[in-house]
Structure 1
Amino acid sequence: MDILLMLAKHKKKIILYPIGFAVAGLLVSLILPNAYKANTKILPPQQSQSTASAMLSQLGGLAGGAGVALGLKSPNDLYIGMLKSRTITDKLIQRFDLQKRYGAKFLESARKQLDGNASIVSGKDNIISIDVEDKDPKIAAAIANAYVEELMALTGKFALTEASQRRIFFEKQLELTKDKMISAEMSLANTMSSKGMLSVDAQSKAVLETVARLRAGISAKEIQLKSMQAFVTQNNNEYKRANQELLGMRQELAKLENGSQPANESDAVKVKDGSVNNMQTLRDVKYYQMLYELLVKQYEVARLDEAKDAPLIQVLDKAVEPEYKVKPQRSLITIAAAFFGLMLSFIIAFVSEALNRSKNSEEQEKWRLLKSYF
């Protein structure tokens, strides 16, 4: 009865406060701008089982960690991290002039606001979902689609797979070998222009070509082993086999070079007088030409593997202009404001009764004494 009497006594507050706060909440919600959310969904790139997978399968316990590092397992986390990277964020800010649109004085403030307006998650179905909120539905859809476009551009620039790393490695080696081959050919041309046509007997030419072929094979095998060291250990069967082939070619080259020495001094004099420089020049040209051919073959293999392992980003649902706003939820704001006003009216009513009761009760004397002491 005391509570009912108290509520009846303060019925005006209990009725007017919720109504007043509800009206205020409705007005505030009307002032707030509408926000629209656009959504796009992409399928995570599926890596094919190429050379990298076969090599990683022989690494035992290390295969799991290496597979994640090379992107051979689910790459969702990697691509979500790329989508949230500062590189893509800054490109979107520049592309849509978001710093001006958000009224951000500093670039970092624009980054934080874009991160707050964008939600990038991977669902249980392993589909990456990108949600973007903005006042303009067209801009929201455009930014959501731009995330995918920038991701495609970024993945095309970076080497994300083992095959890409091998392709880049052999590409650099090809450039170096090509420069050396051109230099050797220019040296041969200069020799021919100054001394005329080079004369080398058939036996020496055969030995020269064989030596050049072996040296080129050894260099190509060394380059191949160096490229394999980036993703396999020395205990890998493929690495061991390539290393054995390298040792065999080195032994064969040593036998050939030791057996091709002049038998006596008179032969050495003839060689020294006529053909040493010619043979060295031809040997360098043949060596770099054959090495370049071998590297081209390995480069083509790496390029084919890269084409199979290329991360193909497929858009499942392209973002379209949203038809309905997501914020502000005016009904929810109005109800919450009314509830807050009701709670506030209850608190004021209880506090008011407590203060009035203390003045009219036997504690009035205690209040008087307390005041006098102070």
Structure 2
Amino acid sequence: MNRDPNIRDYIAVVVKWRSIVLFNVITITVLAVIVSLVLPKKYTSTGRLLPPLLSGESMGVSSNISSMLSGAGLPLGMGATPSDLFAALLKSRTVSDGVIEGCKLRSYYGKKTMTETRKCLSGVTRIDVSPEGIISISVTDKDPNMSAKIASSYIKHLDKLNRETSMTVGKRNRLFLEVRLNEIGLELAAAEDSLRAFQERYHILSLPEELKQAVSVMSSLLARKVTKEIELGMIGMYATEENPEVVRMRRELKLLDEKIRDMGYEPDSTGFGVGVSLPLRDVPKASLRLARLMRDVEVKQKVFAVLTEQYEQAKLQEVRDTPTVEELDKPEPPEKRSFPKRTRIVIVAFVLSLFVGVGLAFFLEYTDRIKDKEEGGRWQKIGEDLKRGIFKKPKGV
């Protein structure tokens, strides 16, 4: 009668084949120890960078570079953060080639081509961005000093690329703003001349208080609109229509247009519409004309002031040579190896060898029992044949 096996049956199988299990465990574990001792040591040096938004100086720089990269079609993604941007720059061929040349990695790795050297460098480098935006650059090498040198070189060339791009963007913005400043300056001078000529002709120097307030509000809105249009044109030099910054600015311009229309302003009109509670029929035509001229002058003055400030910032950005990357942890030569992890290798080998040994024991037990059943079946058949031969009745009886 067959019964279900229990834990004692399993233990009995392992005990029966204990020599096989022990041999397997000891052999594989000893081999793992030898391999862990023979494997070459490797060391990992890690440097960490603060998120660009926290490092102040790189805040505007990363925005400019992001626009340029997005405009060039590089896959940063709609939800890409400044830290993701820096990680993409670190993985770029420009930075990699700078690291290779700076650390002489082509001869160090013994490679004939830059392509092969880049693959080697990529294989020993890991760049991660934490949920908090901290950027980690980890480099693994057989020499702890070289691993730290390569990691430091990554940071150095990231900063170099960032500053060069910032200067390029600054120069481009300066030239663009220079042209617009000259145009606005001429328009402002013409508007001021028209206002002065009108005041001298009609001897009207001021406006009713309510009309003066309307002029101030409308001029502020129009100045913001003109400034946004200029900024959009500046970004449009290196960004596509799908760029998030371009989309944001177009949305802001649309809101400004709606607000200006709500006040009843029309570009070719002579009045201020529903933005002024004072009925237009009660306002002399000369006062309305003066209001328009004063509005135009105020718009030009405000735009000119904003563009002048941006122009000075672009000039500073063009010549700025300060670091744009802030290190949280500088790469240092590691004191302990990162590979091989001998304890882990030996423990894993021991556990695997134990499972393999026990599995082999049950396999051997199974084959042994199959063999016994086959042998028993043969002897049973022989016995039955003998019985039939012995007790068989003779013919003719």
CA shift, 1:235, in A, is: 3.9
Name which of 87, 94, 104 aligns with 1:87: 94
1:343-367 Cα shifts (integer Å, max 9, x gaps): 221122112111121111158759x
Does 2:45 correspond to 1:38?
Answer: yes
Aligned to 2:393: none
Aligned to 1:229: 233
Aligned to 2:221: none
CA shift, 1:217, in A, is: 7.9
Question: TM-score w.r.t. structure 2 length?
Answer: 0.53
User: CA 1:36–1:66 in structure 2 vs 1: closer, same or farther (change >3 Å)?
Assistant: closer
- SS for the counterpart of 2:338 is strand
Aligned to 1:279: none
Letter in 2 for 1:112: K
User: Which structure has the larger Rg over C-alpha atoms?
Assistant: 2
Superposed CA RMSD in Å reads: 4.6
Q: In structure 2, how many angstroms separate the alpha carbons of the residues matched to 1:3 and 1:235?
A: 79
Aligned to 1:315: 327
Q: In structure 1, how many angstroms separate the alpha carbons of the residues matched to 2:98 and 2:90?
A: 11
- SS for the counterpart of 1:326 is coil
Aligned to 1:359: 371
Aligned to 1:27: 34
Aligned to 1:350: 362
- SS for the counterpart of 1:40 is strand
What stretches of structure 2 of length at least 5 have no aligned partner?
1-7, 191-225, 236-248, 261-266, 268-306, 379-397
Letter in 2 for 1:117: V
Aligned to 1:369: none
- SS for the counterpart of 1:325 is coil
Q: Is the 8 A contact 1:161 1:309 kept in 2?
A: no
- SS for the counterpart of 2:234 is coil
CA shift, 1:94, in A, is: 2.9
Q: In structure 2, how many angstroms separate the alpha carbons of the residues matched to 1:48 and 1:165?
A: 22
- SS for the counterpart of 1:302 is helix
Q: Is the 8 A contact 1:45 1:311 kept in 2?
A: no
Q: In structure 2, how many angstroms separate the alpha carbons of the residues matched to 1:116 and 1:75?
A: 25
Q: Is the 8 A contact 2:90 2:158 kept in 1?
A: yes
Aligned to 1:325: 337
Aligned to 1:336: 348
Aligned to 2:297: none
Q: In structure 2, how many angstroms separate the alpha carbons of the residues matched to 1:305 and 1:217?
A: 29
Letter in 2 for 1:353: E
Question: TM-score w.r.t. structure 1 length?
Answer: 0.56
- SS for the counterpart of 1:39 is strand
Does 2:85 correspond to 1:78?
Answer: yes
Q: In structure 2, how many angstroms separate the alpha carbons of the residues matched to 1:36 and 1:18?
A: 30
Letter in 1 for 2:151: A
User: CA 1:307–1:22 in structure 2 vs 1: closer, same or farther (change >3 Å)?
Assistant: same
Letter in 1 for 2:327: V
User: CA 1:23–1:131 in structure 2 vs 1: closer, same or farther (change >3 Å)?
Assistant: same
Identity across the alignment (%)? 31
Q: Is the 8 A contact 1:38 1:322 kept in 2?
A: yes
Q: Is the 8 A contact 1:169 1:227 kept in 2?
A: no
- SS for the counterpart of 1:361 is helix
User: CA 1:88–1:301 in structure 2 vs 1: closer, same or farther (change >3 Å)?
Assistant: closer
User: CA 1:311–1:79 in structure 2 vs 1: closer, same or farther (change >3 Å)?
Assistant: farther
CA shift, 1:3, in A, is: 2.3
1:149-199 Cα shifts (integer Å, max 9, x gaps): 00111012214897564125458x79xx9xxxxxxxxxxxxxxxxxxxxxx
Letter in 2 for 1:3: Y
Which gives a bigger RCO, structure 1 or 2 (Cα 8 Å, sep 6+)? 1
Q: In structure 2, how many angstroms separate the alpha carbons of the residues matched to 1:99 and 1:66?
A: 33
Q: Number of paired residues?
A: 257
Q: Is the 8 A contact 2:167 2:319 kept in 1?
A: no
Q: In structure 2, how many angstroms separate the alpha carbons of the residues matched to 1:67 and 1:153?
A: 17
Q: In structure 1, how many angstroms separate the alpha carbons of the residues matched to 2:342 and 2:310?
A: 65
1:118-166 Cα shifts (integer Å, max 9, x gaps): 2222223332221111110100111111111001110122148975641
User: CA 1:299–1:10 in structure 2 vs 1: closer, same or farther (change >3 Å)?
Assistant: same
Q: Is the 8 A contact 2:162 2:324 kept in 1?
A: no
Q: In structure 2, how many angstroms separate the alpha carbons of the residues matched to 1:112 and 1:19?
A: 39
CA shift, 1:227, in A, is: 6.8
Aligned to 1:138: 145
Q: Is the 8 A contact 2:167 2:317 kept in 1?
A: no
Q: In structure 1, how many angstroms separate the alpha carbons of the residues matched to 2:67 and 2:89?
A: 19
Q: In structure 2, how many angstroms separate the alpha carbons of the residues matched to 1:107 and 1:363?
A: 69
Q: In structure 2, how many angstroms separate the alpha carbons of the residues matched to 1:335 and 1:104?
A: 37
Q: In structure 1, how many angstroms separate the alpha carbons of the residues matched to 2:46 and 2:56?
A: 28
CA shift, 1:21, in A, is: 0.8
1:305-327 Cα shifts (integer Å, max 9, x gaps): 66899872112221111111111
What stretches of structure 1 of length at least 5 have no aligned partner?
57-64, 178-212, 245-294, 367-374
Does 2:155 correspond to 1:148?
Answer: yes
Q: In structure 2, how many angstroms separate the alpha carbons of the residues matched to 1:297 and 1:126?
A: 31
Q: Is the 8 A contact 1:14 1:345 kept in 2?
A: yes
